[in-house]
Structure 1
Amino acid sequence: MSHELCLWFRHSSDSHLTLRDHLSLVQKLTRFLGAEDTLLDESAWLLAGDTKDDSYRYFVFDSQGPTTTALSVLNQELEAEDVIKTFVIWNGQLANSQGASISYYFDRADGAASAMSLILGSKPPSSRLGPWTTVVKVLSEAVKIWDPLIATVDTRKYDGVFPDRPGVGWMIYLPTIVTEQHVPEARALMAVSDGCNDQMGTIVVSVTDGPFSGTDPEHVRSANAIEIRLAELDLLPRFIDL
């Protein structure tokens, strides 16, 4: 079973980020992940290639930041990408229960939001990061790094109520204050604060009794109920509006 953390973000037009900037943001997340699982540490990540040999060729990070080699390879590959720039990295582990990958999309010509997807494999029915409280910590860290428009954690087999909107899945981050009065269906509500201790938004959790599963009817019902409530409150945006 795999869990996926997805987030969508924008940066102001006067703060254009370079490839190095984007990779540095990803490295911050891998440093945090490495504290929970050494196979996810910054030193583990490689550029994904077209072949197995290519996928073990270039390490992405060292203690100083993104490696010179990775930057050179990616810059050359991205020169031909006019519609959307993207890169994929992985942690070099072939076993599903130990594997992980990060897909990153930015500088879209259509003006759509940039996005990041972290996929973590695990042995069913477990979660790679353990209990929901740890998953919330990882999601909170990602929120502090990217300040996203929205972010979710779910399984790749989960289908939400609205195909044109992000699903709640296990949990969803919204850049606003959400209370129990807003969403009584939530199993937990966790505030996310910035470095000045000001609340950035709220993580709404659908399941707290174990890892979320998109094939568990009760888990799906719980997530779907929250999606409907958020849509009624106009808090669940359409993908086209991100």
Structure 2
Amino acid sequence: MNLLEQHRDQAATPKGAFEFHLQRIKAIVDFIATKDETLGGNWYLAGDTQQDALQYEVFANGAASKAAIDVLKAEYGHGKKIDRPKVIGIWNGRQTDGATAIMSLMIDTGVISNNIELSLDEKANGLSRLGNYKSVAEVVAKVAELYRSLYVTFGPRAYQDQQVFDDRLGVSWMLYLPHALAPAQVPEARDLIPVMRDGKQQGTIIVSVTDEVFDVNNLEHVKAANDIEIRLADQDLLPRFVDL
């Protein structure tokens, strides 16, 4: 399963603010750890080899570690590299099937949006490591609230080949949009979950399947997501990638 989102940081956020970005992503790491114990414990900076990828812990004593910040500064924090887009990869250090998790943060992207991707190696029993759809939606909402996301999607990566529009977002298992949506607008959705901020609805999570984990090999699941995409596009509510 994959979670993907895009957001825009405030213009005042300095380039190369590695501590800021790692500290913010820690809130997501801590939250998903409550859903599955294999997502807890130590997370590490990604490396070219397995040995490299277990060398630097990303967090220490409840904060971004000095070692990880120093490594990122050495790689990106000087000369012309400070102004260029940067990718920070972290992983949970687990190497057994169904336990690996990788997060990728793209920052300092300039005119385009920053993004986060979480890739979860799923268990073989057909269950999601993050739980049922309501539990997964809590993770999606947490990301949307923390980053004021332009969108958040969650579902199998392979669904990208089965979505309706090549130039627009796909719904997959669930899609967060920063709009308050009513059931009459998306009657094909199995659930619409409001995401709140400061007592006001900042967006909606649109869920395509509620009784089981979304499966790209299940034609009914794919059709449910496709139907929602068509409905949203007809109302100009499904963003094009070029507009993000």
Which category describes the TM-score, using the shorter chain as reference length? over 0.9
Q: 1:48 aligned to 46, 71, 85, which one?
A: 46
In structure 2, distance between residues paired with 1:117 and 1:153: 10
Q: 2:62 aligned to 64, 68, 77, which one?
A: 64
In structure 2, distance between residues paired with 1:208 and 1:16: 41
Matched residue of 1:230: which SS?
helix
Q: Which residue of 1 aligns with 2:205?
A: 203
Q: Which residue of 2 aligns with 1:123?
A: 123
Give the letter for the 1:236 counterpart. Answer: L
Point out 4+ residue stretches in structure 1 off by more than 4 angstroms: none
Q: Which residue of 2 aligns with 1:173?
A: 176
Greater Cα shift, 17-26 or 45-54: 17-26
Give the letter for the 1:117 counterpart. Answer: E
Matched residue of 2:194: which SS?
strand
Matched residue of 1:240: which SS?
helix
Q: 2:241 aligned to 234, 239, 242, which one?
A: 239
In structure 1, distance between residues paired with 2:54 and 2:88: 15
Greater Cα shift, 62-71 or 199-208: 62-71
Q: Output the aligned Cα RMSD.
A: 1.4
Could you tell me how far 1:81 is from its partner in structure 2? 6.9
Cα distance change, pair 137–83 in 1 and its aligned pair in 2 (3 A): same
In structure 2, distance between residues paired with 1:15 and 1:55: 28
Matched residue of 1:202: which SS?
strand
Q: Which residue of 2 aligns with 1:34?
A: 33
Q: 2:188 aligned to 158, 162, 185, which one?
A: 185
Greater Cα shift, 86-95 or 116-125: 116-125
Could you tell me how far 1:82 is from its partner in structure 2? 5.2
Superposed counterparts of 1:208-227, under 5 Å: 208-227=210-229
Give the letter for the 1:219 counterpart. Answer: H
In structure 2, distance between residues paired with 1:94 and 1:107: 30
Could you tell me how far 1:34 is from its partner in structure 2? 1.5
Q: Is the 8 A contact 1:189 1:202 kept in 2?
A: yes
Query: Deviations for 1:64-119, whole angstroms, at most 9, x for unmatched residues?
Result: 3100000010122224475421111000111230110001111114x110000011
Could you tell me how far 1:197 is from its partner in structure 2? 1.8
Q: Is the 8 A contact 2:216 2:222 kept in 1?
A: yes
In structure 2, distance between residues paired with 1:107 and 1:72: 18
Q: Which residue of 2 aligns with 1:230?
A: 232
Give the letter for the 2:23 counterpart. Answer: S
Give the letter for the 2:66 counterpart. Answer: T
In structure 2, distance between residues paired with 1:181 and 1:63: 48
Could you tell me how far 1:163 is from its partner in structure 2? 1.4
In structure 2, distance between residues paired with 1:147 and 1:114: 12
Greater Cα shift, 183-192 or 95-104: 95-104
Query: Deviations for 1:169-220, whole angstroms, at most 9, x for unmatched residues?
Result: 00000101011110000000000111x2211100000000111112211111
Runs of 5+ consecutive residues of structure 1 not aligned to the other structure: none
Q: Is the 8 A contact 1:157 1:215 kept in 2?
A: no
Runs of 5+ consecutive residues of structure 2 not aligned to the other structure: none
User: Please, what TM-score do these two structures have when normalized by structure 2?
Assistant: 0.93
Q: Which residue of 1 aligns with 2:153?
A: 152
